[in-house]
A and B are shown apart, each in its own frame.
Chain A
């Protein structure tokens, strides 16, 4: 059950292109395979391996009637059958006057890293890593988490001559250490399993768990905070959802409406979307076969740019940026490789510079409260500490924050030098540094 490879994936895609009576045909092939070893109470309790492959065919007939159909199968007959279905759907669709056609051939940037050892990692390898970390935990600590390795292959072909294919791998390890009255967390994601220092992650989680014991109650309110990269990345992920796409902007459902070109947060904050960065997990083209470009979304605090899929770019008379989802899409373009650029201050010094405030390891179950002012809510978990005179002075019970992201990013005092790639729910990972923020609003507290 090894990788298909570019040639074979493109063969699968090309089976769709001969659909009779079509003006345009596009086939997107997406294959993902990998394993996950999951543990809880310091034992491996759920482990799985799976391989999925789907082909999504988009067909335009009569110039601008568009239909799509998707099948999870790799054989040419199934793909051709799906293409015919897409054509039937297209025939029943009303004309779409805004249909821009499909992109043509292009040169694609180098992006992503395919690591053979990660793609081939077997269950024993993952279980061995987990077991090694668990065995080194101090007495009295139990752990939960997951070790995952996966391989992603994407290919796209269309009747305008696009032939794009790419592959990447990803490895992640997460651990929640439980020391009784306190828990600690650490996670890491890299393109290659060998680059993950799982022992260090285990030690960090265990140390936080010990330090989190016997948390004291803290009244909700506004406090200075240091957000570790895992927590800071959640704010970057949410901004990505809330309105950098040109379609969302055009429809007035973007926090950037009326703010492009204006200062929206601290000059210390620069956010880019960059699939070509060496430390991200990506291929060099989007789901329409357009090359991915690095886009600076917030440039030293100024709202700088939107991202465009082929339709929005055509409508605006600009070049698409390579952020298209499978078209047509009600969502429009989305930035999918977000990164906040690091500063120059080591993370430890951010805490040392905090007179009185909170150190937050991780957020939990964040959700949108108000789109236009970018207010989100969520909980802290697995390591929330009171800091006094630059030193951790003990753990506090977890707090709920209700906070505008832009307001928080406007009061950033310092940006950490190290970054981490994290994703709260497994999707839309963003790379972020630790942030020192002068004012962060906690609206309520919980009991642990």
Chain B
């Protein structure tokens, strides 16, 4: 049965059962993940999932029901179940949900692809990853080499009772290598282009080719072996330069999440937490130095948060979150935007057919400054270059954070020096961003993928993007717990 028939049946049944608003989202997701460790295929996951999720408003209360087991009768049952869920939610009083208006969208859209990654023969993928492991294993002293490729394609057919009729296909690709050195009771790892299975972008096989997993293998492996012999980073307060990979997660945790309006309004209090930012801080709160401008942009080519319409049918858009250090906007949904008298910025996304959409980061970028990473290092008399995330944690209002990175290089007189292992740093959000005094330029600006953003109950995983260029911060506490 065609998805449009299922979504149509579900909407009809929802309205018949008393829904004032309904949307039906049919999703088909294909995923393929391949892991090669040393000289063998360690894991291969090929998965196909399709299902229907029906969301309704009944007397201003949300209800949602979803299933992977689909036929016309089940589509109608899901609508009835969603209405039942919504009616039960009236057990407690509260203001009815209102939705910010949006023009019904009728469109078809797909991620532009160079080479369709799913069409790349499996043998070619395996061969590349074996070669990437071989390149790492050429370095003496390496314990284990790993190489990965992940492919995701999600087709979403979204219909609503307001007339939205969307058919959108997003394709995302990621690849990476991880070199592990083991000895003397320690394990050190170096990754490329990023940790946690590499760099992910919207696009095709060209994302894998750009990573040059084979060419970078020997360097990455050599750095892992060097890390095993490197001293632990001592505790001190100093200047740090964050490379793009680490800075992307710093933006994610300490800027993106605190500016999600559902967190600000307390809707995520019990699990992910709230925010130190209040609705009244818009245009008033100094978040960071005047060099700090952050933008949410779902239109950026290659971002994991790039699409044409969100899961409420709101068009992808670019909107400021922080301008010259001042809070300039929030990530919003139709419901939360209506609460503050604004329009939705198009940030509602579900992690599949089985989940209600939540406010999620799209691509949250730190806008570039000037120069390259080399210039930034040359301009730093004393400090550290911190590279590639390996640990992250932040409190439930997004104030106190602590990160660990794979590698830290001392900067002395504008030149990179000694390598340190087990490097960590901590801080408080607005103090940290206020110490920002340089951001590299557009030539160093890369949209990094964060494919594992958790939020919501039931738990949902979102894939988001962050465009950043390396940046410098002062008076940072490093070497936590030493």
Stretch at the interface among A40-48, A110-118, A350-358, A408-416: A40-48
Q: Verify A92–B143 contact, CB threshold 8 A.
A: no
CA distance A359 to B426 in the complex (A): 24
Q: Does B210 contact A (CB under 8 A)?
A: no
Q: Taking the complex as formed, is A253 at the interface, i.e. its CB lies under 8 A from any CB of chain B? A: yes
Stretch at the interface among B10-18, B341-349, B392-400: B392-400
CA distance A128 to B126 in the complex (A): 53
Q: Are A44 and B92 in contact (CB under 8 A)?
A: yes
| Interface status of A318 (Cβ within 8 A of chain B) | no
Contact (Cβ within 8 A) A36 B457: yes
B37 within 8 A of A: yes
Interface residues in A, total, Cβ within 8 A: 90
Complex Cα–Cα for A447 and B93 (A): 33
In the assembled complex, A372 has its CB within 8 A of some CB on chain B: yes
Do the beta carbons of A98 and B458 come within 8 Å of each other? no
* Cβ contacts B466-480/A at 8 Å (1 or 0 each): 000000000001001
With a CB–CB cut-off of 8 A, which chain B residues contact A86?
Answer: 46
Cβ B81 vs Cβ A1 within 8 A: yes
Contacting residue for A379 out of B64, B93, B182, B396, CB 8 A: B396
A400 touches B270 (CB 8 A): no
A45 to B391, CA, bound (A): 32
Q: Which residue in chain A gives the minimum CB-CB distance to B401?
A: A400
Indicate whether B91 reaches chain A with its CB closer than 8 angstroms. Answer: yes
Smallest CB separation, B385 vs chain A (Å) = 20
Is B121 part of the contact surface with A, judged by Cβ < 8 Å? yes
Query: In whole angstroms, what is the CA distance A118 to B35 when docked?
Result: 39
B residues 391-449 with Cβ under 8 Å of A? 391-397, 399-400, 402, 404, 422, 424, 426, 428
Query: Considering only CB atoms, which chain B residue lies closest to A329 in the complex?
Result: B43
Q: Which of B44, B69, B90, B457 contacts A89 (CB 8 A)?
A: B44
1/0 per residue, CB under 8 A from B, across A34-72: the answer is 011111111111111111111000000000000111111
Known A50-B67, A130-B91, A253-B182; contact A45-B62, beta-carbon cutoff 8 A: yes
Say yes or no: B480 contacts A251, CB within 8 Å. Answer: no
Asked if A174 is at the interface of the complex by the 8 Å CB criterion, the answer is yes
Asked if A152 lies at the interface with its beta carbon under 8 angstroms from chain B, I say no
Contact of A368 with B by CB under 8 A:
yes
Assess whether B77 is interfacial by the CB under 8 Å rule: yes
B51 in complex: contacting residue of A72, A82, A258, CB < 8 Å: A72
Q: In the bound complex, do residue B270 and residue A369 qualify as a contact, i.e. CB atoms below 8 Å apart?
A: no
Known: A92-B121, A381-B395. A127 touches B180 (CB 8 A): no
Q: Is A85 an interface residue (CB 8 A)?
A: yes
| Interface pair A252/B65, CB less than 8 Å apart | no
**B41 interface hit (Cβ, 8 Å):** yes
Which residues of B are in contact with A by a Cβ distance under 8 Å? 35, 37, 40-51, 53, 61-69, 77, 81-82, 84-94, 121-123, 126, 130, 143-144, 146, 180, 182, 185-187, 265-271, 273, 276, 354-356, 391-397, 399-400, 402, 404, 422, 424, 426, 428, 454, 457-459, 477, 480-481
- What are 17 inter-chain pairs, A to B, with CB distance below 8 A? A46-B356, A47-B86, A48-B458, A49-B65, A50-B65, A68-B46, A92-B123, A252-B144, A258-B185, A365-B394, A367-B393, A369-B422, A377-B391, A378-B393, A379-B395, A381-B273, A402-B424
The 7 residue pairs across chains A and B that have the minimum distance between CB atoms: A43-B94, A123-B88, A252-B182, A446-B400, A72-B49, A144-B270, A127-B91
